[in-house]
Amino acid sequence: MIRLRVNGTDRSFDGDPEMPLLWYLRDVLGLTGTKFGCGMALCGACTVHQNGDAIRSCVTPMSAAAGSEIRTIEDLNKTGLHPVQRAWMQVNVPQCGYCQSGQIMQAAALLSKKPNPTDQDIEAAMAGNICRCGTYQRIRAAIKAAAEAKP
């Protein structure tokens, strides 16, 4: 039995320990904000937080999530919009929107560790998140806006 905490709720899973966390979140818990993109941890659409760190849920087996605190995009705004979400709207980041939950989760993890990131910090943290629409300049601007905003 695998025990974990998802968005503040204790959960247990008695299925295949090699099942990707992504499918547990989407298919078992119905948390569909986390997207399937490439299935190989190359695009970042499936980004969630594990104990505060951004991870790719498509390649994280349930066994690796055991005992962890998992946070998805659905939990990011429990008490109102997260500063990253507000900045995303302010800067008008999304185009098609498919990658945005992963982009937002990656940016939120960055800002939790580096509240005032440099351009190099942003580049390094966001390098693994692909946006097919090419909104990278707006993503960077939104991260900077979120860093300047008061929570």
Mean pLDDT computed over every residue of the chain: 95
Q: What is the DSSP string of 72-133?
A: -GGGTTTTS--HHHHHHHHHT--SS-TTHHHHHHHHHHHHHH-SS--HHHHHHHHTT---TT
Q: What is the CATH number of the domain that holds 140?
A: 1.10.150.120
Say whether pLDDT at 100 is over 70: yes
* Domain co-membership, 125 together with 143: yes
Mean pLDDT of 129-136: 93
* Domain co-membership, 8 together with 71: yes
Amino acid at residue number 94: P
CA distance 12 to 4: 6
Where does the pLDDT of residue 151 fall: very low under 50, low under 70, confident under 90, or very high at 90 and above?
A: low
| Pick from 112, 118, 45, 108: nearest CA to 81 | 108
Mean pLDDT of 113-121: 96
* Domain co-membership, 65 together with 17: yes
Mean pLDDT of 20-28: 98
Mean pLDDT of 109-121: 96
Q: Quick one: pLDDT at residue 3?
A: 98
**List of residues 6+ apart from 39 with CB closer than 8 A:** 58, 59
Name the residue range of residue 88's domain.
Answer: 83-148
Q: What is the CATH number of the domain that holds 55?
A: 3.10.20.30
The pTM for the full model equals 0.94
Sign of CA dihedral 39, 57, 53, 63: negative
pLDDT digits over 64-87, tens only? 999 999 999 999 887 788 999 999
**List of residues 6+ apart from 29 with CB closer than 8 A:** 6, 11
Q: Quick one: pLDDT at residue 150?
A: 60
Mean pLDDT of 104-118: 96
Which run of H or E residues covers position 144? helix 136-148
